[in-house]
Structure 1
């Protein structure tokens, strides 16, 4: 947490981190999730000096509540698939649609 954070944000950070650990995230990933969530909330409420456009215009973390987790009935979003394809070095990914990305990633796993 940034220096000078309020007690409320410290409690929020710990709660989010503990929840992520309970879900089975690694300690490092749990800290990252908590920090990003709290920093976004700080930006939305005007507590931070700088804020990204997505932090201010996007729906709040509480409202989102896992809507973009990629675990719903339609699976990961196009952006999530595209980023994974980029990390795995799938060629031609920019010309692929969601289903093509899914198939290319499945083939890359084998």
Structure 2
């Protein structure tokens, strides 16, 4: 059971870290520091992959006939990972929008 709890906490921890790093990227993008924002997004995605890989191993274990116990903690981990994936997707879209806004502002300033 301890190994399962470790895997569950791995999903929670890496998912939460990835989401936090993505929000740091969004703050950088709000300051129009897009190069640093992109670096943060890359780091967030690398961190998210760690959580996703743990989830995938658990799914593969279950497919291979191993008993994977479903607990409230496991449900929480899955919910946490799903939220991280969703929020990171939205943050990436928001950063794309901020880039377009920045370019539009730049173009308008050049015409004024």
Question: Normalising by the residue count of structure 1, what TM-score does the alignment of the two structures yield?
Answer: 0.24
Question: Normalising by the residue count of structure 2, what TM-score does the alignment of the two structures yield?
Answer: 0.24
| Greater fraction helix | 2
Considering only CA atoms, is the larger Rg found in Structure 1 or Structure 2? 2
